[in-house]
Amino acid sequence: PAEREALTERIRTLLRERNAVLVAHYYTAPDIQILADATGGHISDSLDMARFGAEHPAETLVVAGVRFMGETAKILTPEKRVIMPELEATCSLDVGCPPEEFAAFCDQHPEHTVVVYANTSAAVKARADWVVTSSIAVDVVRHLHGLGKKILWAPDRHLGDYIRRQTGADMLLWEGACIVHEEFKARELQQLRAQYPQAKVLVHPESPAAVIAQADRVGSTTQLLKAVVEMSAPVFIVATDNGIFHKMREAAPEKTLLEAPTAGKSATCQSCAHCPWMAMNGLRNLAGALERVDNEIFVDPAIAAQARISLGRMLEFGR
Ligand code: 13P
Ligand code: SF4
């Protein structure tokens, strides 16, 4: 606790000295979320992280999350310095969608409108017509479907399949998955629901279809957080990264929150419902990056200029 306090104090000072603001995702550690709250920073889902970073006047954005979030911030505000506690913090969706292979897939289907999830590299975003996050994906695809467009979707196949079921759009899907959400188990969820018949089920759409089918609310992290406050139930079963529990408990302390069942613990995974890359963000490396002003995100300007178009469409659509 003494080290934690010292680090927290140091980070507060450095944020002021560097004219920096901390933007964190809900899946990061409570220590980081508390610090972001206390220093005028921001904690949110991917879409609002992008919006907040783009609109905030700070010279430096400290993005606590995974790499694509830092890249998105840099693409949207190239004049700002963007630093991250850990540059190696990636995402299985990003890793599973290499830009060259993706470009070849797009080239094979030139008649399709290319819509990609925000959880991708800058180069993949640059190849896309649209970027979306989970909070806006269904609305964007419904709009494009209404215009008669056929969609090429990447990389999350569960989210893509969910969007297809919701919109009826003609969609070609890339075969990516999130290693965290893919682990939620439908049969075990059914058993837990039988134990807690009064519980409402909240599911992130990166989860398998049989888990989504049991949901009372499907949505992005921000939308699930809202649901805990809005829905009048004493118990919630939550199928998303357990980092979200910090804010959910804060927002609805009287409610009981249960983790949706996963395949279970293993040698490499203490709790499977926690992203190993989000977990790389801590007070120590956050303080270090701010102290040295390193771990900076750079995006090739030509790629950034292209990606800004597809990201910009999403921001404009969501206005
Ligand atoms: P959202 O916070 O946009 O719902 O995204 C979830 C996610 O997987 C981020 O890594
Ligand atoms: Fe990627 Fe899943 Fe981790 Fe989010 S939780 S960063 S989608 S691996």
| CATH number of domain containing 192 | 3.40.50.10800
Of 151, 178, 205, which residue constitutes the final position of a domain?
Answer: 178
Identify whether residues 53 and 69 lie together within a single domain. Answer: yes
Say if residues 23 and 36 touch (Cβ distance below 8 Å). Answer: yes
Is 267 part of a structural domain of the chain? no
Is 305 part of a structural domain of the chain? no
Measured in Å, residue 89 CA sits from the centre of ligand 2 at 10
Q: Which ligand is nearest to the CA of 156?
A: 2
Identify whether residues 10 and 78 lie together within a single domain. Answer: yes
Identify whether residues 20 and 70 lie together within a single domain. Answer: yes
Say if residues 132 and 124 touch (Cβ distance below 8 Å). Answer: no
Is 71 part of a structural domain of the chain? yes
- Residue of 179, 178, 167, 122 lying closest to 140 (CA atoms): 167
Say if residues 199 and 193 touch (Cβ distance below 8 Å). Answer: yes
- Tokens 């269904």 belong to 138
Is 73 part of a structural domain of the chain? yes
Q: Ligand 2 pocket: which of 268, 277, 280, 281 to mutate (most atoms <8 Å of CB)?
A: 277
pTM recorded for the entire structure: 0.96
> What's the structural domain count of the chain?
3
Of 146, 178, 210, which residue constitutes the final position of a domain?
Answer: 178
Q: Ligand 1 pocket: which of 93, 220, 246 to mutate (most atoms <8 Å of CB)?
A: 220
Identify whether residues 79 and 125 lie together within a single domain. Answer: no
Identify whether residues 83 and 100 lie together within a single domain. Answer: no
- Kindly list the averaged pLDDT for each block of 10 residues, start to end, along the chain of length 319: 94 98 98 97 94 96 98 97 98 98 98 98 98 98 98 98 98 98 96 98 98 98 98 98 98 97 64 91 98 97 98 95
Range of the domain at 160: 93-178
Identify whether residues 174 and 98 lie together within a single domain. Answer: yes
Measured in Å, residue 78 CA sits from the centre of ligand 2 at 24
Q: Which atom of ligand 2 is nearest to the CA of 277?
A: 3
Identify whether residues 122 and 168 lie together within a single domain. Answer: yes
Identify whether residues 80 and 116 lie together within a single domain. Answer: no
Verify whether ligand 2 is closer than 6 Å to residue 46 (CB atom): no
Q: Ligand 2 pocket: which of 95, 220, 241 to mutate (most atoms <8 Å of CB)?
A: 241
Of 178, 211, 232, which residue constitutes the final position of a domain?
Answer: 178
- ipTM of this predicted structure: 0.98
Is 208 part of a structural domain of the chain? yes
Is 318 part of a structural domain of the chain? no
HSE, side-chain direction, 13 A CA sphere, residue 287: 16
Measured in Å, residue 180 CA sits from the centre of ligand 2 at 6
> In a 3-state reduction of DSSP, which class is residue 40?
coil
Identify whether residues 189 and 174 lie together within a single domain. Answer: no
- pLDDT at site 270: 54
Which residues in 98-108 are b (16+ Cβ under 10 Å) and which e?
ebeebeebbee
Q: Which atom of ligand 2 is nearest to the CA of 27?
A: 5
- pLDDT at site 263: 79
Measured in Å, residue 209 CA sits from the centre of ligand 2 at 17
Is 307 part of a structural domain of the chain? no
Is 309 part of a structural domain of the chain? no
In angstroms, the first-to-last Cα distance of the chain is: 42
Identify whether residues 228 and 254 lie together within a single domain. Answer: yes
Q: Which ligand is nearest to the CA of 314?
A: 1
- Tokens 């419904």 belong to 142
Protein residue closest via CA to atom 9 of ligand 1: 46
Q: Which atom of ligand 1 is nearest to the CA of 223?
A: 4
Identify whether residues 166 and 194 lie together within a single domain. Answer: no
Measured in Å, residue 16 CA sits from the centre of ligand 2 at 30
